[in-house]
A and B are shown apart, each in its own frame.
Chain A
Amino acid sequence: MKKLSTKIWILIVAYLGLTIAFMYVFADFLYEQLYVEDTKESMIEIGEKLQSMYRGGKVTDEYVESVENINTYSNFNVFAVRNPRELSACVPFEIDYNALIGPDERRILLKGEAVSKIGYEERFQRQVVSVIMPLTDQERLEGIIYIYYPLAKITELAKLEVLTFIGGAILFALILAIFVYKSLQRIMRPLNDLQFAVEQISEGDYGTRVKVVSKDEIGKLSEAFNNMAEAIQREDENQKTFLATVSHELRTPISYIKGYSEAIQNRYVEGKERDEAMNLILREASRMERLTNELLQLVRKESQNIELVPIVLSETIREAVKLLESIAREKNISIQLSLDENIIVQGDEEKLKQIFINVIENAIRYSNKDCNITVRSELSKSDAIIEIQDYGIGIPAEDLPHVTERFFRVNKARSRFDGGAGLGLSIVEKLVKQHNGSLSIESKVGEGTLVTITIPILEE
């Protein structure tokens, strides 16, 4: 399994190679097109001049000589041929002789057109670029002017350049390959760091963070990773705290139950004291039962989706209040209701009832004796607003943001006598969220607390 950087490097180097190969072919093409074509054109130019010197009739010795004289001051090899054997004049008779021009070329020349060739020429035993110009008179091919230039000379000329070109290309490719490799290493470093950090996290080191050095995609990825790591770490800590709290909450009643039941078993307590101890055991067991129920509820709320149906809000509130009347009566607290009877909300009846029970129970629990509690409901646009106002001990401002956290209790002494395990408002918050509503709590120490719950109404 190759690394991504290696793959990218190979890709870039391959493209580079392809580009160089293309450039080579293209240069070759240009050489062929421009240099060879240019050579041919020069040859044709000379050939046309020589053609214009021919006056028709038989090709004379003087003419042949004057054509050959061109060789002294021309780069090209030029000669005139008038031997019909060389001009394939005998075809269609079979010829056992390798003539200078073939029958097809003869046919072109007879039309007065020039013939140009590139390739190996048997006669000269080398690669040549050649141009053949006809000397025609009254449709007779009296002779030809043959001009050629060894191709080897052109390639020899270009050989040094080609070597330099190839050498340069290889060197250039090599340097570029190294440069690309180094750049890739630099670009890929944050990714490598990220990979390392992910491995650290998967091994349980949630404190791992990566350094964000850029604002590009990798930078953003690093940032997102850091946020994720932070979230994981927080969740991990919450989990630990939660477990510690649960264990602590369970340990206290268990130690009570264990202590009292041992005392009863060993008969250290008798008579009235024994009855009290039995009451205590019962109370602590109830506490544990309630705690575990609440925990179960909490866990279930997190994993469940509820079905919302139209519910008459005032009815549900009345039922909740009715259930709590006996506790309220114990503290001589009266619950004042001011309800809008027309409000119908989207909700789950049991869960809605639970919300109100929890909130009103809290209000009763933290109210002094002979107090009032007011429960109001009203309509506001598309929401039902339910307010539960008590005039009890209130919540200190610094604790207010934490009251919905699990196991959070304003009374840090965790007295077994002033109520629940600190899960009530957590559950309320969850349930309200499930109803697409919101929960807000305002409070002043010594003056009381106002809990406002907003639940969307049934829209017609």
Chain B
Amino acid sequence: MQASRLPRYVDIVLIPILNLLTALFVAGIIIAIIGENPFTALSVMLKGAFVYKGGLGYTLFYTTNFIFTGLAVAVAFHAMLFNIGGEGQAAMGGLGIGLVALSLGGLLPILVVIFLAVLGSALFGAIWGIIPGYLQAKRGSHIVITTIMFNFIASAIMVWLLAGMLMAPNQMSPETVSFSDGVMLWQMHEIFNKMGFDIGRSPLNLSFVIALICCLFVWLLIWRTRLGYRIRATGFSLKASTYAGYRPEIIIIVTMAISGGLAGMMAVNEILGVQHRVILNFTSGYGFTGIAVALMGRNHPVGIIFASLLFGALFQGGAELDFEFQTITRDMVLMIQGLIILFSGALAYMFNPVLEKLFLRDDHLIGPKND
């Protein structure tokens, strides 16, 4: 990342919006090329995401997934670690929930089982983050490659278990038996129903609240604790961190544990909130979307909430495209996601030279050039 000489609001508000608009503009051109009206598509998506009854619930349900995986990527980013293993960590988190719920469900009080299941997801995700963290810190393997490999290893383990020893008897699809009654998180529409509001049916559940608590936790951790300071210091300069006596290898492993744990908790929303059994491929790429979310949200919990909401709306609105158009499907969302990662990640500073000219007209403000 290069140091920006631009005013802060330009850096954290204007540039992300500009990048997003560029991505959407390119997406619009592609939609026009395949012969559909991009504005109709946009309005269908917006209606599906916010206006139709229950639409907002679905949007916030997807948002929950992205908050977890986005936070996971962001925490690692603060230590300059690129965790693209969110997909595998989330899958393992699902396994953690499954093992707790299937072995203890019915034996212990329901609330205890749910609590342990949430812990199980974080623990299993954390383990899947700690190993690449350890390999990076102590053995010098590159975390990007190891986490990619760990995604595939996790997927193989899930297939092996769900089509093998954990597979429900008399079933054809690779999934476990349903958890015992009550081992699930409460649905928001039921909670609101009891209070006398009708918000329409949606899979939105208490995980949303857990996700928001995690945002607060990450904010406190990164900016208000000694560990957070050390994580940022390690990310800023490994040498300085060593010199200060922070033992960066420990910091790296701990950071990856927290990051993996957060990604693992994505399974709470999907498995404990909706499926109530472990199924194959429930992560459906949300781990990768977390990267886009963290990039757009500039690794800050508040930014991540907004970016997650954007992607939540994209996913829910994208589902609506399936019904309305013959030629546009959910894959459109994948394409837009790719464009957003390209423009707000890899090309994040494309507009910097132009903006610097606009905002820093006075020569004395620019200061000495150091590149």
Are the chains A and B members of one assembly?
no
